Amino acid sequence: MTNHTDNTALLVMDVQPGIVDRLPNRDDYLATVTSAVRAAHQQEIPVIYVVVGFRPGMPEVSASNRAFSGIKGQAPPTMIDPRPSLVPEGTDVVVTKRRVSAFTGSDLEVVLRGLNIGHLVLCGIATSGVVLSTLREAADKDYRITVLGDLCADMDAEVHQVLLTKVFPRQAEVTTTAQWLGGPG
């Protein structure tokens, strides 16, 4: 594990049924996320699961919202009753967001302040969605950011690679789960 665990939180974002199920390597991905969560627990690093969810009928979604308006009225049950694919333990926190960024429409910032968090370790689905949006907003809010590149997934491999190698390093440390856990990369 990197040597800065004080004031650090692991954000596991959009790893929920209906989203994680789209991954071709779903089981391998969940196993690696589970190892990162276990390591965070062992180091007493708070784990925050961020899920996207809406009320029945999706009143939070405007017709002008390109990302969500297409599914308004037909949202899968996992978006009306969102739960992470992994079972939260002990003091783990589940935050429900209403947009792509983990901050938008959620109480994430209040939770981070309450826990005195200044360093976010990000992973999730999709690299070009929740990870990108959350990273940009977290950088603007002056958080220190680490991205677990092997725990980011995207349906577009080229976009995923460009983000991890060219865009994210401008505002975050990009590493692997093994490196974050203190092992060989």
Tens-digit pLDDT profile for residues 104-149: 999 999 999 999 999 999 999 999 999 999 999 999 999 999 999 9
The confidence band for 3, taking pLDDT boundaries of 50, 70 and 90, is very low
What Å distances lie between residue 115 and 6, 19, 45, CA to CA? 11, 28, 10
Would the pLDDT of 2 be above 50? no
Rounded distance between C-alpha atoms, residue 49 and residue 171, angstroms:
22
Summarize the confidence of residues 48-53 as an average pLDDT: 96
**Contact predicate 123/148, CB 8 Å:** yes
Rounded distance between C-alpha atoms, residue 105 and residue 97, angstroms:
5
pTM for this entry:
0.93
> Taking every pair of C-alpha atoms in the chain, what is the biggest distance, in angstroms?
48
Residue range 8-180 forms a domain whose CATH class is alpha beta
- What 8-state DSSP symbol labels residue 71? G
Structural tokens at position 72: 């308004």
